[in-house]
């Protein structure tokens, strides 16, 4: 069977000469090449995602065969479909299916089924082929289409593919064909995509699927990407790296509704063991507290207190996951006998009682980082001119309502922003008169 192209002339040029010229403009033949297990590459029209796809594919060492995993946009055919015979036609010519490898994967898998119907009108695999042919005309492929399923099933499929690759002489490269967030404003799309990209870079398919389910991440190729990550971890990878990220808005200049595109390489090789990073005693106490409380419901009893721990002060404990806020709660003034007890109390609150987030789970603990801010006593100020968003934290107060913001926060660059955020946190209207206080912090990471 020859699978005919269905988006030639629309997603990419239908004439070989025009296609060659367009791809040449997106690729860099002199880019340093890396030995990869696989890559994430977008599949939109070339005018939108071609730059990201070209930059990514330009950086891989080419092999003879590519296992291309695509999502099902059409809903046709079997939910987990593999073609093991025939070829795919593009304007550059036919691409043969690697029947030996395809049949080995089919025999090993409990989930994949032989089926061509799912592939007939599915563009996500087709769009990858001209880029591959541009660099090497005689490639072979194994096309696989994946539909919605429980996350554990993607892990099983990935590990099944890895088992076959380990026994294969061809050592194929896996491509997960995927665009990122669909049809959201630029700012929203980039925020969601950053979280998804971080999950991929951390080789955490479970976190990626959590984002899809809980954050309504509209990344179409989450299934191919989860399968790729699972396969890579079984094969042995030294990590992943982001090549490029863009949105359709970067082309159209319409940022009201964009689609995101990411190019990511998953590198071959074993990861080097990193030396444990030395943590200051204060955030280390926060870390020990959260880990002990989440795992066992118990609080640590520090044996020796540093001089700072013996003092009394307000303390904020901030928890981040992959660089994103995961919890932050603290006390403006001391409520405990010493800073150590203040840290323990606020670490528990930050990890389990921050109303913006669900409680931290044991599975998340390895991905968390901690910082502790020790506050000076707040001092009243008579004018906004006495404030500085980089040096001082701010408290706004009216009656029993109080709003606080720590200093030197990313994205907060003006006094007006500081005060506005404090008012919002305390439920204080912009026109209500308030008392202002400032304080300094000593931040420990």
Which numeric CATH code is attached to 277-374? 3.30.700.20
Closest CA to 108 of 231, 202, 240: 231
Burial of 149 (0-12, 13-18, 19+ CB in 10 A): middle
| pTM, rounded to two decimals | 0.65
Closest CA to 290 of 324, 321, 331, 322: 321
pLDDT at 262: 98
Domains 2-268 and 277-374 share a fold: no
Length of the chain: 445
User: What CA–CA distance (Å, rounded) separates 406 from 378?
Assistant: 12
User: What CA–CA distance (Å, rounded) separates 422 from 420?
Assistant: 5
User: What CA–CA distance (Å, rounded) separates 39 from 177?
Assistant: 8
pLDDT at 63: 87
pLDDT at 81: 98
User: What CA–CA distance (Å, rounded) separates 381 from 387?
Assistant: 8
pLDDT at 274: 54
User: What CA–CA distance (Å, rounded) separates 158 from 21?
Assistant: 35
Domain boundaries, the chain: 2-268, 277-374, 376-445
Query: Does domain 376-445 match CATH 1.10.510.10?
Result: no
Q: What is the pLDDT along the chain (445 residues), one digit of tens a residue?
A: 999 999 999 999 999 999 999 999 999 999 999 999 999 999 999 999 999 999 999 999 998 999 999 999 999 999 999 999 999 999 999 999 999 999 999 999 999 999 999 999 999 999 999 999 999 999 999 999 999 998 889 999 999 999 999 999 889 999 999 999 999 999 999 999 999 999 999 999 989 998 998 889 999 999 999 999 999 999 999 999 999 999 999 999 999 999 999 999 999 987 665 566 678 999 999 999 999 999 999 999 888 899 999 999 999 999 998 878 999 999 999 999 999 999 999 999 999 999 999 999 999 999 899 999 999 999 999 999 999 999 999 999 999 999 999 998 888 999 999 999 999 999 999 999 999 999 999 999 8
pLDDT at 419: 96
Segments of 220-339 assigned E as strands: 237-247, 258-268, 315-321, 324-330
pLDDT at 277: 67
Segments of 98-253 assigned E as strands: 113-114, 140-146, 173-177, 182-184, 237-247
Q: 389-405, pLDDT tens digit by residue? A: 999 999 999 999 999 99
pLDDT at 272: 61
| 81 CB neighbour count, 10 Å cutoff | 23
pLDDT at 25: 97
Phi, psi of 177 (to 5 degrees): -85, 120
Alpha carbon 246 to its chain centroid, in Å, reads 14
Q: Provide the CATH topology of domain 2-268.
A: Protocatechuate 4,5-dioxygenase; Chain B (3.40.830)
Phi, psi of 417 (to 5 degrees): -65, -45
When the pLDDT of each residue in the chain is averaged and rounded to a whole number, the result is: 94
145 has which bridge partners?
70, 81
pLDDT at 362: 93
Question: Are 160 and 214 within 8 A, CB to CB?
Answer: no
pLDDT at 275: 60
pLDDT at 273: 57
pLDDT at 322: 80
211 Cβ partners below 8 Å, 6+ apart?
192, 195, 196, 199, 217
Whose tokens are 């591959």? That residue is 132
């Amino acid at each position: 069977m020859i699978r005919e192209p269905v988006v030639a002339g629309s997603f990419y040029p239908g004439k070989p000469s025009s296609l060659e010229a367009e791809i040449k403009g997106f690729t860099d033949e002199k880019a340093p090449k890396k030995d990869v297990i696989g890559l994430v590459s977008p599949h939109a029209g070339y005018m939108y995602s071609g730059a990201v796809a070209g930059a990514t594919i330009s950086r891989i060492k080419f092999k003879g065969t590519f296992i291309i995993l695509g999502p099902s946009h059409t809903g046709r055919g079997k939910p987990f479909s593999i073609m093991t015979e025939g070829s795919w036609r593009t304007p550059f010519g036919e691409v043969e299916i690697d029947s030996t490898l395809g049949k080995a994967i089919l025999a090993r898998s409990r989930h994949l089924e032989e089926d061509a119907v799912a592939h007939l009108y599915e563009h996500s695999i087709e769009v990858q082929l001209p880029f591959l042919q541009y660099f090497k005309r005689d490639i072979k492929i194994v096309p696989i289409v994946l539909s919605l399923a429980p996350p554990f099933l993607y892990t099983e499929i990935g590990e099944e593919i890895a088992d076959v690759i380990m026994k294969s002489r061809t050592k194929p490269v896996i491509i997960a064909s995927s665009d990122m967030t669909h049809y959201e404003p630029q700012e929203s799309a980039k925020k969601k995509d950053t979280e998804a990209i971080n999950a991929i870079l951390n080789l955490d398919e479970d976190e990626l699927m959590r984002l899809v389910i809980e954050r309504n991440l509209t990344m179409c190729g989450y299934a191919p990407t989860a399968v790729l990550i699972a396969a890579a971890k079984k094969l042995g990878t030294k990590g992943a790296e982001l090549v490029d990220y863009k949105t359709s808005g970067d082309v159209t200049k319409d940022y009201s509704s964009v689609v995101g595109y990411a190019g990511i390489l998953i590198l071959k090789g074993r990861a080097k063991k990193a030396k444990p990073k030395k943590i200051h005693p204060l955030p280390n106490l926060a870390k020990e507290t959260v880990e002990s409380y989440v795992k066992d419901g118990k609080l640590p009893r520090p044996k020796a207190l540093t001089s700072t721990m013996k003092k009394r002060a307000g303390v904020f404990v901030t928890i981040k996951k992959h660089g994103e806020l995961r919890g932050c709660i603290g006390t403006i003034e001391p409520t405990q006998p010493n800073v150590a007890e203040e840290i323990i109390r606020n670490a528990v609150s930050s990890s389990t009682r921050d109303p913006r987030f669900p409680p931290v789970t044991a599975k998340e603990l390895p991905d968390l980082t901690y910082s502790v801010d020790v506050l000076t006593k707040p001092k009243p100020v008579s004018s906004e001119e006495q404030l500085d968003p980089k040096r001082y934290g701010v408290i706004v107060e009216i009656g029993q309502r109080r709003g606080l913001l720590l200093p030197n926060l990313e994205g907060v660059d003006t006094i007006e922003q500081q005060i506005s955020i404090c008012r919002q946190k305390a439920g204080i209207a912009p026109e209500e008169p308030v008392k202002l206080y400032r304080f300094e912090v000593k931040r420990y990471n």
